[in-house]
Amino acid sequence: MDVLSFLRADHESVLGMIESLERGRGNSAAELDARRRLATGLVIASSRHEAVEEQFFWPEVRRTVPDGDELADRAIGQEDAAKRLLQQIENSEPGEPAFEQALTEVMSAIREHIEFEQSQVWPLFEKAESAQGREALGKKMEQAERAAPTRPHPNTPSGSVVQKTAGLAAAVLDKVRDAVTGRKDDQPPRPPRP
């Protein structure tokens, strides 16, 4: 699968979760529980997505795109800021001011990040990387996403090597914690792949 198709499917899935979260702002116990589940799904999907981008996509952007270092640095800065907000969501409960503030900020940040990637990075990457290269990268990222961390880990450095080593260890611990806490039940469905 072409890497840009892979990334687009993830982006559409995350944007769908954001739209659902924006609609569901009720205060009943059932509404707050549904909001918590949706927010957890957003945290999981965003954490997996950013981890595989940091492992594979941004290094390729650096390697192939003119000014790729600058573009990747900007994107990773956005991702790091989002990880801190996602961690605040993890550490609080729906309806609490800290949760609602972090959720509002992360939804805006995610939209801004997606717009930056799709409008500024992807066109340059598509010109710089061959169709075969994009296809191979998409397959790598699709495989890696299955084993990616499900939590944000804002204190873990965002570099490719760190994500491929410490990130994998964090992913194993995340999956154990998810199973023990029942959080695995809040996993969002995998986006359909073309």
Q: Give the tens place of pLDDT for each residue, 81-139.
A: 999 999 999 999 998 999 999 999 999 999 999 999 999 999 999 999 999 999 999 99
Those residues whose C-beta lies under 8 Å from the C-beta of residue 147, and which sit 6 or more positions away, are 168, 171
Q: CA-CA distance, 22 to 173, in Å (whole number)?
A: 31
Q: How far apart are CA 46 and CA 51, in angstroms?
A: 8
In this predicted structure, the answer to whether residue 173 has a pLDDT above a threshold of 90 is no
Confidence of residue 28 (pLDDT cuts 50, 70, 90): confident
- CA atoms of 52 and 109, how far apart (whole Å): 19
* Secondary structure element (H or E) that encloses residue 144, with its range: helix 131-146
Whether residue 185 has pLDDT greater than 90: no
Distance CA 58, CA 2 (A): 15
Q: The pTM is what?
A: 0.87
Which tokens in the block code for residue 58? 């941004």
Residue 40 contacts residue 18 (beta carbons within 8 Å): no
Q: What does the DSSP 8-state code read for residue 186? A: G
Give the per-residue SS3 of 73-114: HHHHHHHHHHHHHHHHHHCCCCCCHHHHHHHHHHHHHHHHHH
Residue 186 — pLDDT band, cuts 50, 70, 90? confident
Residue 25 has pLDDT above 90, yes or no: no
Q: Which residue has the higher pLDDT, 154 or 65?
A: 65
CATH code for the part of the protein at 3-186:
1.20.120
Owner of token pair 């999981």:
44
The maximal CA–CA distance of the chain, rounded, in angstroms, is 52
Q: Please tell me the predicted confidence (pLDDT) of residue 16.
A: 94
The residue extents of the domains of the chain are 3-186
Closest CA to 149 of 178, 180, 128: 178
